[in-house]
Amino acid sequence: MHRYNCIIVEDEPLAAEVLKDYVLQIPFLELKGICTDALYAMDLLQNEKIDLMFLDIHLPKLKGLDFIKTLKKPPQVIITSAYQEYALQGYELNVVDYLLKPIEFSRFVMAVNKVKERETASAVPLAPATERAALFFNVSKKRVKVYIDEILFIESLKEYIRITTKDRSILTKYQLGQIEEMLARNGFLRIHRSFLVAKNKIDAFSATDVEIAGKQIPIGRSYKEIVMEMIGG
């Protein structure tokens, strides 16, 4: 079994102790250290092979999100914070998950399992220029291929997502946050808590919605600023 070397970057002793207890219960995690600030963590990252970092946002000296930006090759990151308003910024930095304190063990397990899922995700790389990137999804006991460049938008339906292309729509059991992470580098933009859209498929937009293939898709209030910045210039 592959083990992931991890560190905890947390300046609150009680929160760090909780995370340490959780990590020690996960067989595939190997705790390499607890850092009380980002500078200490930076030094540890330079001297150890770290696969995963549990990172608080409000740290002394250097804030967690700013710390990620300083790293050329950051490990996988799970944010642990008492403040939900930084979630969008976290996902823009391609974090694995964003855990809100107090963190329940079941939610912690879900987050660390995403680390494994990232490595086993069925994305086909773009290696040869002639090969198109695609993902496979479970649909009615079959694995259905969907080419990434054909996806118009993806809608969250609680435990499921609906993936819409020009020619079809498929329903599969997935979390929108998971597929957002997988498509983060493929030009997709989260515009609403329930919608992820292909930026290059947007035909028109206003302050309240975008239009893709004749469908009006709402822009969430908390996403408006980043959406306008990304597509409005």
The answer to whether the beta carbons of residues 41 and 30 sit under 8 Å apart is no
Q: Hey, is 130 helix, strand or coil?
A: coil
Average pLDDT on 185-193 reads 89
Cβ neighbours around 167 below 10 Å, total: 6
pLDDT in tens, 131-150: 678 888 888 878 888 999 99
Cβ neighbours around 171 below 10 Å, total: 14
The residue with tokens 């999804």 is 137
State phi, psi for 24 to the nearest 5 degrees. Answer: -65, -15
Give me the percent of the chain exceeding a pLDDT of 90. 63
| Strand 204-205, strand 142-147: pairing | unpaired
> Given this model, what pLDDT does residue 131 score?
61
217: pLDDT confidence band, cut at 50, 70 and 90?
very high
The answer to whether the beta carbons of residues 11 and 36 sit under 8 Å apart is yes
pLDDT in tens, 78-103: 999 998 888 888 888 889 999 999 99
Residue 33, sorted as left (phi over 0), alpha (psi -120 to 50) or beta, turns out to be left
Domains along the chain with CATH numbers: 4-120 (3.40.50.2300), 134-232 (2.40.50.1020)
> Given this model, what pLDDT does residue 214 score?
94
